[in-house]
Amino acid sequence: MKLFVDTANLDDIARALEGGFVRGITTNPSLLAKEPKSGYLEHMKRIVKIAESHGGEASLSIEVFTDDHCEMIRQAQQFWDELAYANLAIKIHVSHRGQDNLRVVKELSGRGIAVNCTACVTPLQGLLAAAAGARYVSIFYNRVKDGGREPGFEAERRALLEGRILDAADFDANSVVRETRSLIDPDYPAEIIVGSVRSVLDIKQAGLAGAHIVTVPPKFFAPALRHYKTDQAVDQFFTDFQNWTSEEVAAPGA
């Protein structure tokens, strides 16, 4: 399983790449909204510059910000041309209010533009995205769980279940990842990215469920390394070494 860093913050991106443990970067308009205001492409160019300074091998996913198919294609082509980054992927949301965006995925992939088909929450969304040519299929892990329990969507849930469009497993995030992997593996080269990570444990569970990639908010990297038994072992190593060197120094005069 590979790790991507999920942020638009330039310092966080630089730190993650310097650490040597991430293989990519994902951004979205909500993450960008947390950063100081600037031109969209200008900010993306800064990210590209950081990625290139660390070898240029990191994948970078950036998102279009329109629902119009022609404008999606125009924006995607513009981003691809202006950023000119070999490992760029353009994020296209799988659908919105019933609008099928798979034709956009097909068009862009046919032009040789890598697509990250995002906002997937069911295995069939992931399969359809992969079949349309997506390089990455992004599953929103905790939004899958939210979909089964959030108030305000009772009627929608009931209609989807009673209409045999979804079943109970479609609200289990690990099941969605596993089933998506089973559906796409035999026939499509797409990789599954798990996003919407809200805890360190989500990272491990998503990977064990079959995610090729988990995209992680920067705040979870340090806790993922933390354990009191690791601290105890390292403290013991230092103590034992200090005791040994103290005895060695004292020995000649004994």
Query: CATH no. for residue 160?
Result: 3.20.20.70
Q: How many folded domains does the chain comprise?
A: 1
- What residues are labeled active site? 91
249 within domain boundaries: no
What are the residue ranges of helices labelled H in the chain?
Answer: 10-19, 29-32, 40-53, 69-83, 102-110, 123-132, 141-147, 154-162, 173-184, 200-209, 221-225, 228-250
CA-to-CA distance for 193 and 178, rounded, in angstroms?
12
How high is the pLDDT of residue 99? 85
pLDDT tens over the chain, length 254 residues: 999 999 999 999 999 999 999 999 999 989 999 999 889 999 999 999 999 999 999 999 999 999 999 999 999 999 999 999 999 999 999 999 878 999 999 999 999 999 999 999 999 999 999 999 999 999 999 999 999 999 999 999 999 999 999 999 999 999 999 999 999 999 999 999 999 999 999 999 999 999 999 999 999 999 999 999 999 999 999 999 999 988 666 555 55
254 within domain boundaries: no
19 within domain boundaries: yes
Domain range for 171 is 2-228
pTM: 0.93
Cα–Cα distances in Å, from 58 out to 69, 86, 92, 108? 28, 9, 19, 21
